[in-house]
Structure 1
Amino acid sequence: MPAATAQALLGRLLSPHDDQRTAALVWTVAEALDSLGVAICLFDESDNVCLWNRCFTRLFPEHAGHVAIGENYRGILQRFYQVRLSAEELPAIDRYIEEAVARHHTQRRPFDFEHHGVRLSVASLPIPGVGRIRIWQQLAAPPTQAMQPPAAVEGPLPIDGAALFDQLADGVMVSRADHRIVWVNLPFVEMYGLGARSAALGMRFEDAFRKAWQTVPTASRALFDRGLAILADQMRFAGAPFELPLPGMRWTRVIEQRSADGHCFFMHVDITMLKRQQQQLLEAERRARESEQVLQEKSALLEATLERMEQGVMMVNAEQVVEVCNRRARELLDLPQALMDSRPTLDALAQYQIAQGEFDSTPPDLIASRSTGRAFRQAYSYDRKRPNGRVIEVSSVPTESGGVLRTYTDVTERKRAEERIRHVARHDGLTSLVNREVFLECLSAALNDPVRRAEGFAVHFIDIDRFKPINDRCGHAIGDKVLALLAKRMRQVARDVDVVARMGGDEFAVLQYQVDQAEGAVGLANRLRDGVARPMEIETQRLTVGASVGIALYHAEDTQAELACGGARPQTADSLLRHADAAMYAAKAANGVRIFGVDGLDSHWAAMQP
């Protein structure tokens, strides 16, 4: 079975299933691969061994009797390199192990190498939710080729268009199975300082590397020695890219590909600029390490500060992964510790919050802006009402790194205080009814609303009769309680949609919506009077008052008709209130209800014009 097929099969088998069934299937596959001469070793996400088959220990006898469930990959590599490295290379075994771990995590394509005289191809495959699997397969030995002296290999390479490779910016080298160079392009000659193409023919790559460094002073040979060690290790593998230092602080990345006939093709890519940038980063890291203790103390202080802040803080990187979420943010948003420790993406976090109803009261446009990524391009702030009733101020500021910093502040009490202030500013403190200014706002809004105008409405101006004697005889405390009770009764009589206001003193007003006939307004006025007139018992005193109600009606049809005849002016909130007030005085004289423009009240209109 080809290694790629085995990888795909194991990838399917290790999808989430019942644990016992999955284990049985995996062991079955491992046994099957044994019969095909394919070795496998499965690692979890922490690089610990999960399982291996017998072929693994046949190809790598150094692990027989030593490999164990739970052993880390570094332990496997320790035994592997103990039998591969020479006595001169063994002191650098830790570096070899770390480089091998890096290859294990980043390998994307198979490469081959020789071990115990056997040529092996190794592939590596990440398995989501499990870890990574490595698969080895023995390769057939390439046909042996007779060694030829360097002079015999000179001449044109039997590759069509080989001269085109001279136009590349990167170096190209071709060698035989015995690692002797048979062709190089001109950029390779220049990269390794060989002078001419013919100088490379018959060399081994190590010889070309040594020649490139031969004129470098001894004081600068540390990189040369390091390069030799890298070359000695990496030439054991085929297909695994590696990097080599060159004189003049230059670096090249070497990528090898082998053909079926034993030829090896090497691409040498100049990565000097990249390495210089890496060196700059390493230098910056070195300088940072010199102050590591100070930085650790500052980091600990910052972490302690974040955890003790009364403001929630969340930092999201450019990949939209939540990197920091302090204690207060978790508390304010009811986020599980385990979820935030997993460093979720912003989308995963949002899905969890949506399931908890977190955004039920959030405006849809804000949710849409978050999903389009606009939050990572511009700052914004809004108040979010949480399912538990608390109000959280959410502020988001993009960072220079492409991420975003979010802060969460509990503003529930501040919002309540603001609401109380707004309520006090717009409501009468004694009766809790809206005040005169708010009533006029509602009346103006009705005049400007085509629907309200079409439906018609009425303004009731109410004066309490016989209230002053109560105030004078019983005192203002009793009088205030009378007014509060009357306000409550009027609020109960009016509909929820209607507006009831205290205009000042013992005067009240009602804005009655949806009034298309005078009878509807008169009916409400009489109910208001009846409610006001019911006897009251306040602090053992039985009291009664009355009410006079003046009404101003608004009918869009009537107003348009009068305007067409030139007999009316556009009605305003103030004019409607004056009309109702005038009708109230007429009602007080008649001890009842009067409508402006009816019952002989037209004269009031004429008298009140500017």
Structure 2
Amino acid sequence: MKLSRYLHDSLDALGIGACEYDADMRAVGWNSTFLQFFPEDEGVIYVGEPYGDNLLRFYHGRLAPEELPDIERHVAEGVARHENQTQPFEFIHHGRRLRASSLRAPDGGRVRMWQRLDVESHAETAPELVLPLIDALPFIPDGATILDARESVLAANDAFRRLYDLPRGSPVVGRTLNEIIAWCWRGASPAGAWRAAISNGLRYDGVPFEVELPGQRWLRLIARHSTGGLSFFTHADITVAKRQQMELLEAQEALRRANAALAELAETDGLTGLANRRRFVAGLAEAVALPQPLSLMMIDVDHFKTINDRFGHLVGDACLRAIAEVVAGQVRPASALVARIGGEEFGIVLGGMRLETAHDMAIAIRRSLALMPWHTLHADLSGVTVSIGLCGGEGPLDGTNLHARADEALYVAKRNGRDRIEISSLPGAPLCIAG
């Protein structure tokens, strides 16, 4: 997405500032009027600049020193407005009242446009402007307040008092919304999270924002500014909708966790807790595609059928669990994948590991198995050994060929007497055999 120079010039002629952003919220282009409205961007904004960085510069020039600790919150809310805006809103910047609009492009990007409106004076509010608004307050079903240019309440209706649980007769006029909400939270303040929300709400006309109150209650506020520096706020209780939204999010998260658990079960061997054959095949395919050293270790338990026939399947299963624990304990790299492929066969994908290191690991596995107190599983079980086949190379590799060569080395170990390690090289390299 990129507007033509002609369209940029046309928008300049109409006095409309424009800036384009791609689907990743990075600047693509802008016109001269944009730089007139936002002189802080002159010579600083660049093609590819993240929208969040642009907002950071915008707020650094607007926020008072005491508001700067909340600048990240302001930026996050601004990014959310950029992503979700469907209606124009208004604000004042460098003395200009601007109406901001946003259009989504087919490719997912956005064009933001700013039109200058008549500048309204922030002089003392004239009584003839305030009185009609005050007269209208009782007829508004939601909470409503009128604020002066100093952001103090000039008037409020009864619905406003009820929403904020203000006792009848308690002072409202002359107080700021910050002070009223702080009173609501007396002794249980959530670190003033509402302050940044109100500060932002006072700047943008027509942009809803939320304020949390004690007892898990939420209000949605919308500000409108009028002549003479007046602000008109509506306050609506959205507690039910907010709780439903939170319940929906919690349900979605629970569903995500359940699906993740099911996916984990689908790729986990029920007996040993290791990855199963399905995960092994997928993990090997991922590993061989990477430009890195890679070793594959195949392990088979020697004479396992005899163990099952002589001592029973319960002892056989206990042997497999013990072997799985030893193997997993000796395989340290986080990038390794240890799996029970089926029956008495195990596979280990060792991403980033060369054959020499994998061979040392195979030796450690055999030593650990030799030290196992097998007699604790059955008094007549004196020991359990394994045969190991290794193969490896520098990725990317052919996974099928790598697996076949490691299996070939394993069968060589079986033929050569079992309880040993064999290494098979990929085509073009000499075969190395180690006991």
CA distance in 1, matches of 2:224, 2:104: 23
Q: Which residue of 1 aligns with 2:46?
A: 68
Matched, 1:175 2:142: no
Q: Which residue of 1 aligns with 2:103?
A: 125
CA distance in 1, matches of 2:101, 2:68: 26
Contact 1:173 1:266 in 2 (8 A): yes
Shift of 1:290: 9.4
Contact 2:18 2:112 in 1 (8 A): yes
Structure number with larger C-alpha Rg: 1
Shift of 1:43: 1.4
Q: Which residue of 1 aligns with 2:62?
A: 84
Q: Which residue of 1 aligns with 2:78?
A: 100
Q: Which residue of 1 aligns with 2:399?
A: none
Q: Which residue of 2 aligns with 1:273?
A: 240
The correspondence of residues 595-606 of structure 1 with structure 2, limited to 5 A, is none
Q: Which residue of 1 aligns with 2:139?
A: 164
CA distance in 2, matches of 1:102, 1:299: 37
CA distance in 2, matches of 1:228, 1:115: 20
C-alpha spacing 1:237/1:300, structure 2 compared with 1 (3 Å):
farther
C-alpha spacing 1:75/1:144, structure 2 compared with 1 (3 Å):
closer
Shift of 1:95: 3.2
Matched, 1:208 2:180: yes
Shift of 1:186: 0.9
C-alpha spacing 1:285/1:276, structure 2 compared with 1 (3 Å):
same
C-alpha spacing 1:255/1:298, structure 2 compared with 1 (3 Å):
farther
Shift of 1:225: 0.8
Amino acid at match of 2:35: T
Q: Which residue of 2 aligns with 1:194?
A: 166
CA distance in 1, matches of 2:164, 2:29: 45
C-alpha spacing 1:196/1:142, structure 2 compared with 1 (3 Å):
farther
CA distance in 2, matches of 1:75, 1:92: 15
Query: For each residue in 1:435-490, what CA deviation from the matched residue of structure 2 results, as whole angstroms up to 9, or x when unmatched?
Result: xxxxxxxxxxxxxxxxxxxxxxxxxxxxxxxxxxxxxxxxxxxxxxxxxxxxxxxx
Matched, 1:221 2:193: no
Shift of 1:135: 0.9
CA distance in 2, matches of 1:270, 1:184: 16
Secondary structure, aligned partner of 1:237: coil
Q: Which residue of 1 aligns with 2:205?
A: 238
Q: Normalized against structure 2, the TM-score is what?
A: 0.53
Secondary structure, aligned partner of 2:48: coil
Q: Which residue of 2 aligns with 1:111?
A: 89
CA distance in 2, matches of 1:115, 1:171: 29
Secondary structure, aligned partner of 1:273: helix
Amino acid at match of 1:164: F
Matched residues, number: 277
Contact 2:98 2:116 in 1 (8 A): yes
Secondary structure, aligned partner of 2:146: strand
Shift of 1:261: 5.8
CA distance in 1, matches of 2:266, 2:147: 53
Secondary structure, aligned partner of 1:236: coil
Shift of 1:77: 1.9
Shift of 1:249: 1.9
CA distance in 2, matches of 1:92, 1:296: 40
Query: For each residue in 1:8-32, what CA deviation from the matched residue of structure 2 results, as whole angstroms up to 9, or x when unmatched?
Result: xxxxxx8xxxxxxx85xx3122123
Secondary structure, aligned partner of 2:174: coil
CA distance in 2, matches of 1:162, 1:95: 32
Contact 1:185 1:197 in 2 (8 A): no
Secondary structure, aligned partner of 2:171: helix
C-alpha spacing 1:195/1:299, structure 2 compared with 1 (3 Å):
farther
Q: Which residue of 2 aligns with 1:257?
A: 224
CA distance in 2, matches of 1:145, 1:299: 69
Query: For each residue in 1:530-565, what CA deviation from the matched residue of structure 2 results, as whole angstroms up to 9, or x when unmatched?
Result: xxxxxxxxxxxxxxxxxxxxxxxxxxxxxxxxxxxx
Contact 1:37 1:138 in 2 (8 A): yes
C-alpha spacing 1:180/1:90, structure 2 compared with 1 (3 Å):
closer
Contact 2:95 2:119 in 1 (8 A): no
CA distance in 2, matches of 1:192, 1:207: 12
The correspondence of residues 128-143 of structure 1 with structure 2, limited to 5 A, is 128-129=106-107, 131-143=109-121
Contact 1:186 1:197 in 2 (8 A): no
C-alpha spacing 1:267/1:296, structure 2 compared with 1 (3 Å):
farther
Shift of 1:97: 2.4
Secondary structure, aligned partner of 1:84: coil
Amino acid at match of 2:30: W
Contact 2:97 2:118 in 1 (8 A): yes
Shift of 1:127: 2.5
CA distance in 2, matches of 1:242, 1:258: 15
Secondary structure, aligned partner of 1:238: coil
Query: For each residue in 1:382-441, what CA deviation from the matched residue of structure 2 results, as whole angstroms up to 9, or x when unmatched?
Result: xxxxxxxxxxxxxxxxxxxxxxxxxxxxxxxxxxxxxxxxxxxxxxxxxxxxxxxxxxxx
Contact 2:124 2:228 in 1 (8 A): no
Contact 1:157 1:182 in 2 (8 A): no
Shift of 1:293: 8.9
Contact 1:119 1:140 in 2 (8 A): yes
Contact 1:192 1:211 in 2 (8 A): no
Shift of 1:298: 5.8
Over the residues paired in the alignment, what is the CA RMSD in angstroms? 4.2
Query: Which gives a bigger RCO, structure 1 or 2 (Cα 8 Å, sep 6+)?
Result: 2
CA distance in 2, matches of 1:183, 1:198: 13
Contact 1:239 1:256 in 2 (8 A): yes
CA distance in 2, matches of 1:197, 1:145: 30
Shift of 1:228: 1.5
Matched, 1:184 2:156: yes
CA distance in 2, matches of 1:205, 1:266: 10
Taking only the aligned residue pairs, the percentage that are identical comes to 35
Secondary structure, aligned partner of 2:192: helix
Amino acid at match of 2:232: F
Contact 1:40 1:56 in 2 (8 A): yes
Aligned counterpart in structure 1 of residue 17 of structure 2, from 30, 39, 43: 39
Shift of 1:162: 4.2
C-alpha spacing 1:158/1:78, structure 2 compared with 1 (3 Å):
closer
Q: Which residue of 2 aligns with 1:392?
A: none
Secondary structure, aligned partner of 1:70: coil
Contact 2:88 2:100 in 1 (8 A): yes
Amino acid at match of 1:221: S
Secondary structure, aligned partner of 2:61: helix
The correspondence of residues 363-512 of structure 1 with structure 2, limited to 5 A, is none
Shift of 1:159: 6.1
CA distance in 1, matches of 2:237, 2:259: 34
CA distance in 2, matches of 1:274, 1:178: 32
Contact 2:146 2:231 in 1 (8 A): yes
